[in-house]
Copies of this chain bind each other. A is one copy, B any other.
Amino acid sequence: METDAILEALLFVAERPVPVAEMAEVLEVPRQEVEAELAKLGASLVSRGIELRQAAGGWRLVTRAEAFPWVERFAASPSAARLSQAALECLAVVAYKQPVSRAQVSEIRGVDSEAALRTLERRGLIQEAKRLPIPGNPAVFATTDLFLEKVGVDSMADLPDLADHVPPASFLDSLEAGFGADGD
């Protein structure tokens, strides 16, 4: 049996992304070989209904996006509904500021964010990381591996650079001009 076919079988039964090191161990071959075989497998899947996706520190087989309309009609468990705008904003704050407390998220957004954070926690996209050693022991939140998998990035380092999303200087200029009183 070809190595790429064996990898396909392993990834078929896997319930989460599988790190290259783990596949290397099961197959007793060097990592480089696993990587080469993964590339081969990916190429052989090109016109198929499933594809290879790298996320959350490992690899996973998933259905192709083009098949989604049919898969959705058919799937046993309903696919999770879209997140609200509020939940998405909270998710972005947690992703870039983690570990972060509920109060900090609310402060950044300027609005109480408890309900949205709970939704994200229920969806498994964030989780309580620990509690802060300050009065009240507030919980702090961090994103999960499931978040990385769903966003389709290998690690936090692969998230879009926050600096690229800062509004242009002209925005701040017009704000400063409008809010005035800076000539002194």
Contacts and interface: CB of A to CB of B under 8 A. Distances in A.
Most buried by B among A13, A75, A76: A13
Contacts of A122: 109-111
B70 A10 contact: yes
A33 interface: no
A64 B4 CA distance: 13
A181 B143 contact: yes
A15 to B, nearest CB: 5
B175 A130 contact: yes
Interface in A32-79: 44, 47-50, 56, 58, 61, 63-64, 66-67, 70-71, 73-79
Given A112-B77, A131-B172, A1 B63 contact: no
Given A49-B7, A85-B127, A144 B183 contact: yes
B16 A74 contact: no
A158 interface: no
B131 A111 contact: no
Contact of A2 (B26, B47, B80): B47
A86 interface: yes
A169 interface: yes
3 interchain residue pairs of minimum CB distance:
A124-B183, A8-B49, A9-B49
Interface of A: 1-2, 4-10, 12-19, 22, 25-27, 44, 47-50, 56, 58, 61, 63-64, 66-67, 70-71, 73-80, 82, 84-86, 109-112, 114-115, 119, 122-124, 127-131, 142-147, 149, 169, 172-173, 175-176, 180-184
